[in-house]
């Protein structure tokens, strides 16, 4: 029987991303697991193969609305009336609201609207939202798809059931955090789990990077966290840039560590903006005070009104589109893979929350909707008509000009074709032409 309490660690695993952003959904998924596999599975048994309607009719009362709107208050005994707090507290004798909230705060930071979330009706959501909850349980390994229906699994997927290690606390990818939690200890006298990552920062810069990390740690340990004056060697401009920014957090992404900061830089002197600074390219970092004359007025105003960004804000923006440059505008990308390559290397992998397989026939309306230039749209539709329906097609929201996304697309060449957007397709075409010329002349 499933008897897991809604610990923060379990909810983080169910959230598959930012827990702050997906808290209500994670709690709903936990409640559904209790229904499918807990004590209620005995009192409300499901058919061996069941549809969304089969589940709905057993989970809610007969008067629960069948429409796609949020259900109103209609029956005090219907589960859509139960508040989130009543689902959570108490679950076991030693589980209390205060302890749960304290753990949630230690995990990251309490959502500003946490009390509103707890006082809301957890299952007062639309039918499409509930249908997506079931599909998420499929992706998590808790349900098996059977056409348009589902089956319960015989073996539960591995999940957090104990306090995580310090290492797993900093790993954003839930599955990797779970591996670290389970294996970050000696087994039969040996360490059995290792993480090998590419780290391109040269050894002679390691001391400077460690000094920066220590300086930032000291800044973040104090209240309030203060802004910093930063001097940074930009790879894009090739020049030294200066800025006054609010440091938010550090990310290790694709071979190096970066400081995510919000404020004013040389190339954005008039607007508050986000920027990722590779630590080994930071020349100086000097803590300031909020009363320092050099701190821009808008940045100081955000501090006074308690509107400074948090690490959760970054996580939420990164979940909206593919790419680490989360502050760049996002755009729809349409991809085509050769079928054999898709089967061997793309299917069943996780690239981004918005990275989704689509059918051949879905490509046309997407191009018609998202490509505004009439000439470009006509060319792309003509190209699409010449491609095989047997190939694999995907759509994804991505951050424009993000270097890490471009590196991934280059790594997939020549087994990938970018159908849209036009500008990115042309950029890749120019790169391919340049490469051909380079090798052709050798």
Chain segment 234-260, per-residue pLDDT in tens: 887 888 999 999 999 999 887 889 999
Residues 292-340: pLDDT tens digits? Answer: 999 999 999 999 999 999 888 898 898 899 999 999 999 999 999 999 9
User: String of b and e for 231-265 (b: at least 16 CB within 10 Å)?
Assistant: ebebeeeeeebebbbbbbbbbebeebbbbbbbbbb
User: Residue 357 corresponds to which tokens in the numbers above?
Assistant: 């397989």
- What is the distance between the alpha carbons of residues 32 and 45, in angstroms, rounded to a whole number? 13
Output b/e per residue, 171-199; b: 16+ Cβ within 10 A: beebeebbbbbbbbeeeeeeeeeeeeeee
pLDDT, residue 253, reads 86
325 exposed, middle or buried (CB, 10 Å; 0-12, 13-18, 19+)?
Answer: buried
User: What is the predicted pLDDT for the residue at 19?
Assistant: 84
Q: Could you tell me what percent of the chain has a pLDDT over 90? A: 57
- Write the CB contacts of 52 (distance below 8 Å, at least 6 apart in sequence): 127, 130, 131, 134
Q: What is the pLDDT of residues 89-108, one digit of tens each?
A: 864 434 467 778 877 877 76
Which residue intervals of the chain bear CATH 2.30.30? 203-309
The answer to whether 420 and 334 have CB atoms below 8 angstroms apart is yes
- pLDDT beyond 70 at 268: no
Q: Are 62 and 73 in contact (CB under 8 A)?
A: no
Cα–Cα distance between 180 and 165 in angstroms, integer?
Answer: 7
List, in sequence order, the alpha helices (H) in 164-205.
166-169, 174-183
pLDDT at 58: 92
Least confident of 136-140, 178-182, 326-330, 384-388: 178-182
Domain 203-309, CATH among 1.20.1050, 2.30.30, 1.10.760, 1.10.10: 2.30.30
Flag whether pLDDT at 115 surpasses 70.
yes
**What per-residue confidence (pLDDT) applies to 295?**
93
pLDDT for res 123: 94
pLDDT of 110 strictly over 80:
no
What is the band of 341 on the pLDDT scale with cuts at 50, 70, 90?
A: very high
Q: What is the pLDDT of residues 187-217, one digit of tens each?
A: 676 777 777 777 777 777 878 888 899 899 9
Average pLDDT rounded to a whole number, residues 266-287? 85
| Verdict on whether the full-model pTM lies above 0.85 | no
In the prediction, which pLDDT does 95 show? 46
User: How far apart, in whole angstroms, are the C-alpha atoms of residue 388 and residue 361?
Assistant: 11
- Which pLDDT score, from 0 to 100, does residue 198 have? 78
- Determine the pLDDT at residue 94: 40
User: Three-state DSSP class for 96?
Assistant: coil
């Amino acid at each position: 029987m499933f008897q897991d309490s809604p610990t923060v660690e379990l909810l983080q695993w169910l959230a598959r991303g930012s827990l702050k952003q997906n808290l209500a959904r994670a709690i709903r998924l936990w409640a559904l697991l209790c229904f499918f596999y807990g004590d209620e599975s005995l009192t409300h048994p499901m058919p061996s193969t069941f549809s969304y309607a089969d589940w709905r009719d057993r989970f809610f009362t007969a008067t629960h609305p069948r429409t796609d709107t949020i259900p109103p208050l209609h029956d005090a005994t219907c589960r859509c009336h139960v508040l989130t707090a009543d689902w959570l507290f108490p679950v076991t004798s030693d589980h209390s609201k205060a302890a749960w909230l304290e753990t949630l705060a230690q995990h990251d930071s309490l959502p500003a609207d946490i009390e509103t979330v707890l006082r809301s009706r957890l299952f007062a959501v639309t039918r499409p939202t509930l249908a997506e909850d079931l599909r998420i349980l499929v992706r998590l390994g808790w349900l098996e798809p059977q056409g348009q229906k589902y089956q319960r699994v015989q073996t539960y997927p591995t999940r957090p059931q104990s306090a995580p290690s310090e290492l797993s606390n900093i790993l954003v990818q839930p599955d990797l955090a779970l591996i670290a939690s389970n294996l970050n200890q000696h087994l039969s006298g040996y360490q059995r789990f290792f993480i090998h990552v590419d780290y391109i920062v040269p050894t002679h810069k390691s001391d400077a990077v460690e000094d920066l990390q220590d300086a930032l740690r000291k800044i973040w340990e104090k209240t309030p966290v203060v802004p910093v004056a930063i001097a940074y060697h930009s790879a894009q401009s090739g020049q030294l840039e200066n800025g006054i920014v609010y440091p938010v957090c550090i990310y290790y992404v694709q071979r190096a560590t970066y400081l995510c900061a919000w404020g004013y830089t040389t190339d954005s002197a008039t607007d508050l903006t986000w920027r990722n600074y590779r630590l080994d390219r930071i020349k100086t970092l000097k803590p300031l005070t909020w009363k320092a004359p050099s701190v821009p007025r808008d940045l100081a105003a955000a501090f006074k009104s308690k509107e400074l960004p948090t690490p959760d804000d970054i996580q939420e923006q990164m979940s909206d589109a593919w790419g680490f440059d989360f502050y760049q505008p996002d755009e729809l990308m349409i991809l085509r893979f050769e079928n054999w390559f898709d089967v061997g290397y793309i299917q069943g992998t996780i690239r981004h929350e918005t990275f989704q397989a689509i059918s051949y026939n879905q490509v046309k309306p997407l191009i018609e909707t998202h490509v505004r230039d009439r000439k470009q749209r006509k060319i792309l539709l003509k190209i699409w008509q010449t491609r095989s329906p047997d190939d694999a097609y995907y759509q994804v929201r991505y951050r424009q000009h993000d270097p890490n996304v471009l590196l991934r697309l280059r790594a997939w060449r020549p087994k990938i074709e970018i159908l849209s957007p036009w500008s990115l397709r042309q950029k890749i075409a120019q790169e391919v032409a340049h490469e051909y010329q380079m090798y052709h002349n050798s």
